Amino acid sequence: MMKKLLFTALSVIVVNAQLFAQQSVELAPTPPMGWNTWNTFQTNIDEPLLKGMVDAYISSGMRDAGYIYFVLDDGWMTMERDSNGQLVADPKKFPNGMKAFADYVHSKGMKFGIYNCAGTKTCAGYPGTRGHEYEDARLYASWGVDYLKYDWCNTDSLNAREAYITMSMALKATGRPIVFSLCEWGNHQPWLWAKGVGQLYRTTGDIYAGFDKNLSKGTWTALSVLSILDKQVNIRQYAGPGHWNDPDMLEVGNGMSFIEDRAHFSLWCMLAAPLMAGNDLRKMSDQTKSILTNKDAIAIDQDPLGVEGFRYSSADSLETWIRPLSNGDLAVCFLNRSVQPINVSYDWATHVIQDKISNTDVDFTKITYKLHDLWTKKDVGTTKKAFKQSIASHDVVLLRLSK
């Protein structure tokens, strides 16, 4: 009898785990793409500004390029819950309420995301969700929320895995499919436990629009593109359809050079990173637009195989990143980390690409690939000949190799 009960309980757990993993894949078969308020506006958000942003999202071609989520980060609510313990959208910022704004986003063919925090307060000091998980989840579902970013400030001794599982269960209990974005900065190695809990999990602290140097903010350090990149190296085996490593949102268009922005975007595509833009879409330059809406680069990011790229080699500030793609294609990204230009001369015949995670085994002496440069949009020969090019400081060459 005891054995039978135990067997039944274990079966329920296994079936539930499989079901959650399956739901996760359906919610995010490829890394989520969207736009988030934080990197440009912090808590200075309101309905008129954001309606303008929704309109620019569409007129700029972002939605057509595949970006779908429109996410409000910290700062959307009042400083206190109401007398029933409910969160309230700040009536000065959102005079028509949050449901009306969510409806606006949906009416434009996009999905709506919102933010809160596992702690007692959000990072900016607004009411956190601790102890209110189920009622907050119900409220979001009633507004039509499709995506929740869930932060990790003011959590004291909370157990991260338990706190995120609680919120995940609360979201599931609403019956509404809601993408769950874990944002505990990689402190508790979410890649080891968050598969099936949420669909993306931050792997590092906050990014800022700097390419190679971190920036001290007093009590914390904002991370550069390269320093975030280096933190991704040993965790690629934990990412895949429905569970993505999240190296933080994009800073494209927020102050780095065009070349650095292009490198940042290329590398995030190599990493199968969620692509959450964070620039002012109303004022986006043509150069910024050409990066964010580069369909060939986005196709690398969104490749259905869902295998994260890896650093194949690194020498004298020149790195080669490789990402196995569906149909046996490969993405190759040469990155110049230095402040000087570098001449790359890459003789494919002397390289064998082996990757256990994707069962990739490519010997260029036995198979020939065509090379297509995804930024110049030109065919640049085949793997029969060495690839030779000068790469500017902080720039990349992003190639798609196809048979």
Q: Which residues bind ligand GLA (CB under 6 A)?
A: 38, 73-74, 122-124, 151, 183, 206
Q: Which is nearer to ligand GLA, 74 or 308 (CB)?
A: 74
Amino acid at 261: D
* Residues β-bridged to residue 355: 360
Give me the least distance between CB of 205 and ligand GLA, in Å please: 7
Determine the residue with CB nearest ligand GLA.
123
CA atoms within 13 A on the CB side of 51: 13
- Closer residue to ligand GLA, CB minimum distance, 78 or 314: 78
In the complex with ligand GLA, which residue's Cβ is closer, 117 or 171?
117
Closest listed residue to residue 401, CA positions, set 356, 360, 344? 360
DSSP state of 342: E
Give 73 or 329: the residue with its C-beta nearer to ligand GLA: 73
Cα 317 → chain centroid? 26
Q: Please, what is the minimum distance in Å from the beta carbon of residue 374 to ligand GLA?
A: 28
- Catalytic-labelled residue, pool 90, 146, 151, 329: 151
Q: Report d(CA 390, CA 87) in Å as an integer.
A: 55
In whole angstroms, what is the distance from residue 239 CA to residue 349 CA? 30
Alpha-helical regions (H) of 144-277: 160-173, 225-230, 258-270
Task: Quickly list DSSP for 251-309.
Answer: -TTSSS-HHHHHHHHHHHHHTT--EEE-S-GGG--HHHHHHHT-HHHHHHHT-TT-PPP
Q: Nearer Cβ to ligand GLA, position 116 or 293? A: 116
Q: Is beta strand 33-36 parallel, antiparallel or unpaired with respect to 69-71?
A: parallel
User: Counting beta carbons within 10 angstroms of the beta carbon of residue 378, is it exposed (0 to 12), middle (13 to 18) or buried (19 or more)?
Assistant: exposed
Quick one: 146 or 206, whose CB is closer to ligand GLA?
206
Q: Token digits for 231?
A: 């933190």
151 catalytically annotated: yes
The minimum distance between CB 24 and ligand GLA, in angstroms, equals 21
Minimum Å distance from CB 363 to ligand GLA? 43
Shortest reach from residue 113's CB to ligand GLA, in Å: 12
Q: Which of 315, 318, 269, 257 is nearest to 294 (CA)?
A: 269
Q: How far is the CB of 145 from ligand GLA (least distance, A)?
A: 16
What distance in Å separates the CA atoms of residue 176 and residue 309, rounded to the nearest whole number? 32
Our CB check for ligand GLA shows the closer of 154 and 338 to be: 154
**281 closest CA partner among 293, 296, 266:** 293
* Residue whose CB is less far from ligand GLA, 73 or 319: 73
Return d(Cα 264, Cα 394) in angstroms, integer: 9
The distance of closest approach from Cβ of residue 214 to ligand GLA in the complex, given in angstroms and rounded to an integer, is: 15
What token pair was written down for 286?
A: 């043509």
Which residue among 73, 136, 206, 329 is the active-site one?
206
Q: Which long-range contacts (CB under 8 A, 24 or more apart) does 317-320 make?
A: 317/342, 318/342, 318/344, 318/391, 320/346
SS3 content of the chain, % helix, strand, coil (to 5): 35, 25, 45
Q: How far is the CB of 151 from ligand GLA (least distance, A)?
A: 5
As annotated, the active-site residues are: 151, 206
